[in-house]
Amino acid sequence: MTDQRVLSGYIDVWWQAVNDFTAVLEQVPAEQWSTPTDLAGWDVQAVAAHIAHLEAILAGAPEETVEVGEPAHVTSLMGLYTEQGVVARRDRSPDDLINEIRSVTTARHTTLLADPPTDGTAKPATIFGGIDWDWSRLLRNRPLDVWMHEQDVRRAVGLPGGLDTPAAQHTADYLMESLGVVLAKRVGAPAGTTAVLEVTGSAPAAVVVDENGRGQQMAELPADPTVRLAMDREAWIVLAGGRRTPEAGAVTVEGDAALGKAVLEKLAITP
């Protein structure tokens, strides 16, 4: 498959994720926009403002520089950057934020369709936060970010759903690729250790730690891995997203129980 077709697929998933996200925001009463989410320091309003901020920059809006103080939940330079977009929109109404998201994403979607990127390794002319991403990484990450925040809003206000959309599939599968890094680097499992991750709705992932201490994808699922983790998609997302502990009984661990516990404790891989 050509780069252009792959990138076009990412754009399609992102666009659907944006529409799903704004549809959920429309269902949230104004009095619930101050409801805290699983993200430290961010309520529903902040989550919506964050998406509006990044999508506005990608659509060509000027960078915003505002004083954010020293909030305890900001622990990195990227966190400081994203907090500026949230603070800059603190006084905006729900309708203002929804309309901004729709406006800037429509403009960006139109541009991407009119002049689609064709080389995944090329660098976009406009990107947020000065990060050094190519087209492939940028377009692959946008559906993940939007959909993860849709789920943050849904959990906060009690609107379950959206777990079987293209963006949900994209995000779950994408995050599963991190299993090797978690096992080998974060947990520090010895060479020869194998792990299988089974998430409802996704193909199982299997990795082995090689002699150089790196987690490698396995071509076939081992019959008797060192550890096997099984869970539904929502449990996987809250773990991999560092959001919260899944519901009791949502995760099954077979094999080395201590290793399984260590892997589960290190699964949070999104910023």
Residue-wise pLDDT tens for the chain (271 aa)? 899 999 999 999 999 999 999 999 999 999 999 999 999 999 999 999 999 999 999 999 999 889 888 899 998 889 999 999 999 999 999 999 999 999 999 999 999 999 999 999 999 999 998 899 999 999 999 999 999 999 999 999 999 999 999 999 999 999 999 999 999 999 999 999 999 999 999 999 999 999 999 999 999 999 999 999 999 999 999 999 999 999 889 999 999 999 999 999 999 988 6
CB 214 within 8 A of CB 191: no
Task: Fold for 3-160, please state it.
Answer: Four Helix Bundle (Hemerythrin (Met), subunit A) (1.20.120)
Confirm whether 3-160 and 177-265 share one CATH topology.
no
| Burial (0-12, 13-18, 19+ Cβ within 10 Å), 173 | middle
Domain ranges of the chain: 3-160, 177-265
Six-digit token pair at 106?
């429509």
| Terminal CA-CA length for the chain | 30
Burial of 245 (0-12, 13-18, 19+ CB in 10 A): exposed
With contact defined as beta carbons under 8 Å apart, do 87 and 66 qualify? yes
Task: Tell the CATH superfamily of the 177-265 domain.
Answer: SCP2 sterol-binding domain (3.30.1050.10)
